[in-house]
Chain A
Amino acid sequence: MAINWFKYSAPTTFYGLAGKLIPWFALSAAILFVVGLYIGFVVAPADAQQGEFYRIIFIHVPSSILSMFLYLIMAGYAALGLIFNTRLSAMMATAIAPTGALFAFISLWTGALWGKPMWGAWWVWDARLTSELILLFLYLGFIALHASIDDPRRADRASALLAIVGSVNVPIIYFSVKWWNTLHQGSTIKFTGTTMHVAMQQAMFIMLVACWLYAIAVVLARVRSIILERERNTVWIAELPEVRS
């Protein structure tokens, strides 16, 4: 059976598909959040050095990973939009930005809460922390730039450029702890594996999957409203049962 993927690159068909997928992603995200937090805060043992304080890692690390990956995905969609001039790509990029910004903010916020008791400082201007802050500003810049241009197609093109240029920052965040002396410790999850206790690994992995599912659910919900807003003058929107009634 050959699936015609291009069919779903049209807002008309994607709108319906997204609507069907959202409940599944949202529900599984909710379940995994509960399971992940339970393992992380109850099952996983305390850390030898940091005691109970390290447990914020189960929120901190997944949100940091998400903030970086979502940026790359957003920049990817933005590039697709520029290259192929597809409407949906740009809408997806716009839909991802607020969720990415949220995760970048959570990453910085939980990092500060973790840094104060462990390092002795809420914030230091080391390369890891600073580049993650720049990531948050890139997200906010993308949102602001897109909102400041009235014509949506022009807004798409301008903000796509910003997103693509900003993607250079993502590898800098990841490798910052390797390239320079930082207060932030090295990566626990490396490409080559991890050095973590099994229950800690499980909690981290489940939380990561839960964050992904949540991100997909909210991005799909957001892109649906963007589609409705942008295509409001079309016939197919006017014929939607939820619009007609």
Chain B
Amino acid sequence: MKPRQKRFVFIVVAVAALALVVGLVLNALKNNVSLYFTPTQIYNKEAPQGRSFRIGGLVEEGSVKREKDGLTVNFVITDKHKSMPVIYRGILPDLFKEGKGVVAQGKIEADGVMHAEEVLAKHDENYMPPEAADALKKGGAANASAATQAGAPATSPAK
């Protein structure tokens, strides 16, 4: 082999080996890299016990209740399998809505409720004008194609 072919092979092998190492390390640290635990993981006791951590999922429909002081909010975070009640005192982000994504940081106290110190909204990657969103909501998946022609997203049916 010419020296330059040798260098080429060396670089390819080195990058491949490095990618493998990084892949293994990240896989081992999976739980530490993830930003939050799902309610199912908490149910399975995979989440840390007795200290603060983040939980993520959807705000359950019809679960948001404000207390009289107007600042304390009770709601339930669900991943459609298991759910977790949360209590939070503070200002919620604008995108906080029932049925939408949310990430809350806090500690599960003895009452089995997560007392959150911080609540963040998680939005999805779909962007569309309000009319298209309404059409999707009303018509469901069947009529989604009609909305598409009216100027909504041009691919894959609505979730």
Contact = CB atoms under 8 A, between A and B. Distances in A.
Interface of A: 45-50, 54, 57, 79, 82-85, 117-121, 124-127, 164-165, 167-168, 172, 179-183, 185-188, 192-201
A186 to B, nearest CB: 4
B71 interface: no
Contacts of B92: 120
A120 B127 contact: no
Given A193-B155, A195-B156, A118 B128 contact: no
Interface in B90-119: 92-96, 100, 103, 118-119
B69 interface: no
Nearest to A129: B35
B43 interface: no
Contacts, number: 132
Nearest to B105: A124
Interface residues of B, number: 47
Contacts of B38: 181
A197 B129 contact: yes
Interface of B: 4, 7-8, 11, 14-15, 18-19, 22, 26, 30, 33-38, 56, 92-96, 100, 103, 118-130, 132-134, 151-156
A168 B38 CA distance: 28
A118 B95 CA distance: 6
Given A45-B130, A118-B95, A183-B122, 17 more contacts: A48-B130, A49-B123, A57-B127, A82-B7, A83-B4, A119-B95, A120-B96, A120-B120, A120-B121, A121-B118, A164-B14, A165-B18, A181-B37, A181-B38, A181-B56, A186-B124, A199-B151
